[in-house]
């Protein structure tokens, strides 16, 4: 405040200085709101397209590589186990087949 009691140019009358960088709440036009929404949507669409492109490439590589993401290994069977399985199948339904299944 100045010496005569009137607010100076830098004061807002409450003793605080007004900041020239702070804008007073201005009504935002419908056009500006719409433009902001469209801009955000375009960015989101661009990001979604990039993700979709990466997924398509990954899927194509899996198809060409013969994999679908799962890694299934063939069961390894020892020659002895293979012989027991063959004997069990050959003698299936007989007393000898039952004995092989019990001891197998």
CA distance linking residue 31 with residue 60, whole number of Å: 43
Q: What contacts 15, CB < 8 A, 6 or more positions away?
A: 1
pLDDT of residue 45: 96
What CA–CA distances, in Å, run from 67 to 28, 40, 64, 76?
Answer: 54, 37, 8, 20
pTM above 0.85, yes or no: no
Tell me the per-residue pLDDT of 43-61, one tens digit each, with 9 for 90 and over.
999 999 999 999 999 888 8
pLDDT of residue 50: 96
Residue 17 pairs with which residues in a beta bridge?
Answer: 11
């Amino acid at each position: 405040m100045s010496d005569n009691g009137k607010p100076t140019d830098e004061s807002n009358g409450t003793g605080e200085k007004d900041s020239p960088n702070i804008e007073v709440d201005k009504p935002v036009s419908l056009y500006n709101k719409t433009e902001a929404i469209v801009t955000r949507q375009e960015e989101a669409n661009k990001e979604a397209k990039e993700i979709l492109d990466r997924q398509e490439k990954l899927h194509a590589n899996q198809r060409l590589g013969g994999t679908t993401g799962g890694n299934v290994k063939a069961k390894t069977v020892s020659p002895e186990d293979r012989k027991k399985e063959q004997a069990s199948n050959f003698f299936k339904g007989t007393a000898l087949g039952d004995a092989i299944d019990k001891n197998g």
